[in-house]
Structure 1
């Protein structure tokens, strides 16, 4: 394997705390019961619509009022995108290992580009990330393999020689559809309807924390370790 691609939210970066803060504040403003943080985490990978729906379950997602709340949610998030957000614990050493061995890493996400770029900038990852593929870059998003092939093209590496790490079935499906080696990040924001049978995702590997991920990637890219990770 010659490169590693990550999904963004729930795989590379732990963004949930900021979403939880914003959504719970929206609940308080509305005067309704505050949505449980654990439930919000399960909806992060489903996108802004699913998260805002937790606060406004009575509204249809195409209702102009709902769309206004969704846009306000995105605006608040975009204005303060990394208050409580950071890479998952142990991810910095993993990225440093890849960089030291000249193994490029990048991101394929369904997160809008303006938010993805702002997040990478806030965490000083912009220059380190070899490729960023967002929904605006393709006609078909994950689970379609188009974004995976586009990332491979930018990296100038055969998709079969790339590892893709994600925390949602569409991530694994997209990687498999592109014949990449897929790793399920079981430490991420697993959707409720899919979290009880991880084997059904048909990933090539399952890891339960970043330490396991680091070991798995090192083995696949041929990095030997003299010391413990």
Structure 2
């Protein structure tokens, strides 16, 4: 029986596509690297910022990668929050789910990035546990972020479902033994269920409980 619904942020609770493109372009330009194209950024969209920087810059120095990451994490380069969007119906669905389940977040975003979501959505009070990039050693697809959330929530893996949008999310959920619902216009193999709209999520969770 599902007791906890855990959400990813980028691509699920937050449409951050345009904001992240602009941010990486500003960050790398300010750091002295070539400005990456939209296509190049698309290839790293689901990676944690540290890994995205390493791949976009092709930098071999871990020290230098961390320096650039610290610039981004500390917002020494402005993050264009005005480009962030909240998916349609997501506020109402979060409110609905909160009446039946405990809600949490597991994300590759840094803490400031999660606060961006809370600021524009006004939904911080609904999420009892938040696990962000600074909280773990091994990012998704490793199960550590989800396992940490389960520990904080004091629930078993079989009592949780993760709402993600990528292959990485599926792999992490499978490794942690939680259920996984993919929210995406493009169905992904390996998910327990795929949905295209937030309005489908409550019934999808109910279906998992019936199975």
- Separation in 1 of the partners of 2:15 and 2:70? 22
Partner of residue 225, structure 1: none
1:98 aligns with 2:86: no
Please give the alpha-carbon distance, in whole angstroms, between the structure 2 residues aligned to 1:93 and 1:13. 14
Return closer, same or farther for 1:185/1:41 CA change in 2, 3 Å cut-off: farther
- Residue 141 of structure 1 is matched in structure 2 by 139
| 1:1-229 mapped onto 2 (5 Å cutoff) | 1-25=2-26, 35-36=37-38, 39-49=40-50, 51-52=52-53, 57=57, 59-62=58-61, 68-76=67-75, 79-80=78-79, 82-99=81-98, 101-187=99-185, 198-199=188-189, 202-220=190-208
Indicate if the aligned counterparts of 1:207 and 1:213 stay in contact, CA closer than 8 A: yes
How many pairs were matched up? 208
Aligned counterpart, 1:227:
none
Gapped regions of structure 2 (runs ≥ 5): none
Alpha carbons of structure 1 residues 78 and 27: separation in structure 2 relative to 1, 3 Å? closer
Give the conservation status (yes or no) of the 8 Å contact 1:19–1:77.
no
Structure 1's unaligned 5+ residue stretches are 188-194, 223-229
Q: Do the aligned residues in 1 keep the contact of 2:167 with 2:188 (CA within 8 Å)?
A: no
TM-score, normalization: structure 2?
Answer: 0.76
**Could you say which structure has the larger radius of gyration?**
1
1:221–1:14 CA distance, 2 compared to 1 (3 A): farther
Q: Contact 2:19–2:84 (CA<8 Å) still a contact in 1?
A: yes
CA contact (8 A) 2:26 2:77 kept: no
